């Protein structure tokens, strides 16, 4: 998990396009068991769909920065460009050797911390200035557009107590990653996702023994709760 520190105040007014307050939210059985959630607080963006582009890292990172910026600047919502990260990371970051043979317009799996590094060093411009296309394109920058930057980001220490993590979630949503397996793809949120099943764990072990690169999926942790003695985190996905 990773948390970020927002930039200094910016006084330029922006238009809000966050998820509106939902009066029926509390009537849902599941949400009655949520102890804290960012839904309905007018900081989160509408749920989006990354489609066939492998860029969950860019979706989760840009929204985390958007929320942090809004918290710092009186609720000003600035959706940031996932496409800029997808197009420009080849210029900003030393890419792993396995990406050397990517097809021209192919997206790629990466870590949201790399997106944060770019946000510190270069900033990220607004979504409406550099719109998402569901494919990798040519990187372009304009001196007429001022990017949003962050001061730094911090990893949540391994082994941190859940109570302390919950306190961080109450300050701002956190980015996280989970194993990308079929059971996660098939999960629709009707119940608590417990992670890879036995067959998937066995396949993961075999994959690790072969030295294969692990598959991960990035999401945004936006709340937490407990249902029938089972504690859970509430995550926002980018699969529509």
How is residue 87 written in tokens?
């197009």
pLDDT tens by residue, 97-121: 888 888 989 999 999 999 999 999 9
Q: Write out the H or E segment, with its range, that includes residue 182.
A: helix 182-186
Give yes or no for a contact between 198 and 205, defined as CB atoms under 8 angstroms apart. Answer: no
For residues 29 and 57, which has the higher predicted lDDT (pLDDT)? 57
Q: List the end-to-end C-alpha distance of the chain, in Å, as a whole number.
A: 22
* Domains of the chain, start order: 2-179+216-236 (3.90.70.10), 181-214 (no CATH)
How is residue 145 written in tokens?
């557009």
For residues 142 and 191, which has the higher predicted lDDT (pLDDT)? 191
Positive/negative CA dihedral, 168, 173, 177, 183: positive
pLDDT at 28 over 70: no
CA pair distance 80, 110, nearest whole angstrom: 18
Mean pLDDT of the chain: 87
pLDDT of residue 2: 65
pLDDT of residue 29: 55
For residues 27 and 172, which has the higher predicted lDDT (pLDDT)? 172
């Amino acid at each position: 998990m990773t948390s970020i520190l927002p930039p200094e105040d910016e006084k330029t007014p922006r238009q809000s396009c966050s998820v509106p307050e939902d009066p029926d939210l509390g009537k849902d059985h599941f949400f009655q068991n949520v102890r804290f959630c960012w839904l309905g607080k007018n900081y989160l963006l509408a749920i989006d769909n990354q489609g066939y582009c492998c860029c969950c890292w860019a979706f989760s990172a840009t929204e985390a920065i958007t929320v942090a910026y809004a918290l710092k600047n009186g609720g000003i919502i600035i959706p940031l460009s996932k496409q800029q990260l997808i197009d420009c990371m080849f210029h900003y970051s030393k890419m792993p050797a396995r990406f050397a043979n990517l097809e021209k317009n192919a997206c790629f799996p990466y870590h949201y911390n790399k997106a944060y590094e770019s946000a510190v060093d270069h900033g990220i411009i607004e979504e409406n200035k550099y719109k998402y296309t569901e494919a990798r394109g040519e990187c372009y920058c304009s001196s007429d557009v001022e990017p949003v930057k962050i001061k730094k980001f911090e990893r949540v220490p391994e082994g941190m107590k859940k109570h302390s993590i919950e306190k961080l979630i109450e300050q701002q949503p956190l980015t996280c990653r989970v194993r990308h397996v079929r059971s996660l793809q098939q999960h629709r949120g009707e119940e608590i996702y417990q992670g890879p099943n036995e067959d998937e764990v066995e396949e993961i072990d075999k994959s690790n023994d072969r030295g294969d690169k692990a598959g991960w999926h990035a999401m945004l942790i936006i709340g937490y709760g407990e249902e029938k003695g089972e504690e859970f985190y509430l995550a926002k996905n980018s699969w529509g």
